[in-house]
Amino acid sequence: MCTYLNRTGAMYYFRRPVPKDLIGYLKTETGGARREWKISLGVTNREQAKRLLPPHVTETDQTIGEARVILQRGGTPLEPKMTLTLREQEEAEAQAQIEAERQERHLARREVRTLLRQRMHLSTERLTPQEAAARDLVRERGQDVEELNRQIAFLKERVVELGGVPNKARSHVAKAVSLMELFEGYASIAGARPATIAGFRAHVRSFVDQSGLSDATRVELGHIHQWIEWLRTKPGRRGVTLSERTIRTSYLAALRLTLTYGVNKLLLPRNVMDGLKLMRAKKPPQNRERHFNEEERRTLLEAARRPARGATSPFLKSAIRWVPWLCAYTGARVGEVLQLRKVDVREEDGIWAIHLTPVAGELKTNVQRWVPLHEHLIADGFLAWVQAQQTERLFYKEPASGSPERQSPPYQSIYNRLRMWIRQHVSDPDVQPSHAWRHTFKSLAREYGMDSEIVDVIQGHRPATVGKGYGVASMKVRLRELEKLPRFDVAA
């Protein structure tokens, strides 16, 4: 609570009662008996008003003190400095009038401000060019302030780290920092899959090559926008341009992680990508279910049994013959099946199964799992075929030791050619030729009443809840659920 501070409407006033023993002695400007002082402070802000109070308190204290001295001497007190008080009152009233007019103008603009605030949240596509440009300037000014604060904080940290020598800190900031060296530093601690690291490395190198910038301290947001536009015209695999999702979650993610590593290591003052805002691309329409329908399943499985035309590689022939069938009865990813080794097909707890393990190659979840073999696979001769193989790998040739690092897994060539073979038999572009087997397995599992928790274990999906992740599903339980799937009805 602040003594003598009074608010009337939006305006603050100095208001003080006249002591009872002086009522009738102190006069107003018009000659009447003064009962209080009430002086407009001319402001609507409480903190400002509090700062304007002390002079008025001092002046009225002086008036009260002088009046009491005069009364003790038998005289009639009058307020001193009456002319000065009147002038101050007039000035305060003038300020109050100006403030009232300002408030009135501010209130009159309320509807316009509300409309502008609404439009500030719209996409630039829905704004006029002038509105979009104005919003850009507003946001740039805000970002400039944030950026200044980040730079100051960074320099303070560097001064402390370097023993309080500012000139060394400035010298360090100006020193060139290699983007590729930053990435290698990130890669050494990331713990990501080797293929992911190799892909991200290629993406960062792509930015360096396209922008011509190898020094991370020189990277600005404009360079990244130019790279994005170039990526949108760059053909990806199979000649198709990169999707917005791939650009955002792969290419930009690689560069962002690299720059973040530099900031965390105090090698960069900021991550310029913090100011990057991209519109999230809409998901493409789904025109059909994502599994293979009955006719497509039959077509592929029957074709797999026939001699593969045009396949010269024995590994490709083997992949065409067995990978579709293994995927159909296990729900495994094509890549997981392609990297199987001969040693990964064996009995576990007395049940023939395949072992999908990170030791054989990369797994998406990096968690091993055993999947029982359906009796139809065994009856069809899969075990006998495996036992007859002379190589460690069942479906691709092991790269020679000392081979250069690959961005893609070693089975990629067989994977691509197998995908092309599937496309010869299932040409619908709205179904994924490899991943559709996982959707097919899940759909059939529901159709034949398989336990959903065990299906997730077989397919390597995460448990639906933390509690469902406790304990294990034995091989007997897995086989029990798998045997609920009937044989695929295909021609012999």
Nearest to 463 by CA among 373, 372, 369: 369
d(CA 160, CA 156): 6
If 0-12 CB within 10 Å is exposed, 13-18 middle and 19+ buried, where does residue 32 land? exposed
Question: Per-residue pLDDT averaged across 278-304, rounded?
Answer: 87
Contact 193, 366 (CB under 8 A): yes
Contact 135, 124 (CB under 8 A): yes
Tens of pLDDT along 141-190?
655 555 555 555 655 555 444 444 444 434 444 478 999 999 999 998 88
Give the burial string for 128-164 (b: 16+ CB within 10 Å, else e).
eeeeeeebeeeeeeeeeeebeeeeeebbeebbeeeee
Give the angle subtended at the CA of 38 by the CAs of 45 and 52, to the nearest 5°: 40
If 0-12 CB within 10 Å is exposed, 13-18 middle and 19+ buried, where does residue 471 land? exposed
d(CA 160, CA 145): 23
Q: Is the pLDDT of residue 297 over 60?
A: yes
Give pTM, 2 decimals. 0.59
Instruction: Look up residue 363 and give its DSSP letter.
Output: -
Establish how many alpha carbons lie within 13 A of residue 108's alpha carbon, considering only the half-sphere containing its beta carbon.
Answer: 6
Contact 208, 227 (CB under 8 A): no
- Least confident range from 3-12, 291-300, 440-449: namely 3-12
Q: What percent of the chain has pLDDT over 90?
A: 45
**E strand or H helix at 321, and its extent?**
helix 314-330
Dihedral of CA 421/427/432/437: which sign? negative
Contact 378, 372 (CB under 8 A): no
Mean pLDDT (the chain, rounded): 84
Judged by DSSP in three states, 346 sits in strand
Question: Per-residue pLDDT averaged across 466-480, rounded?
Answer: 93
The per-residue pLDDT for 77 is 58
Give the burial string for 414-431 (b: 16+ CB within 10 Å, else e).
bbebbeebbeeebeeeeb
Judged by DSSP in three states, 146 sits in helix
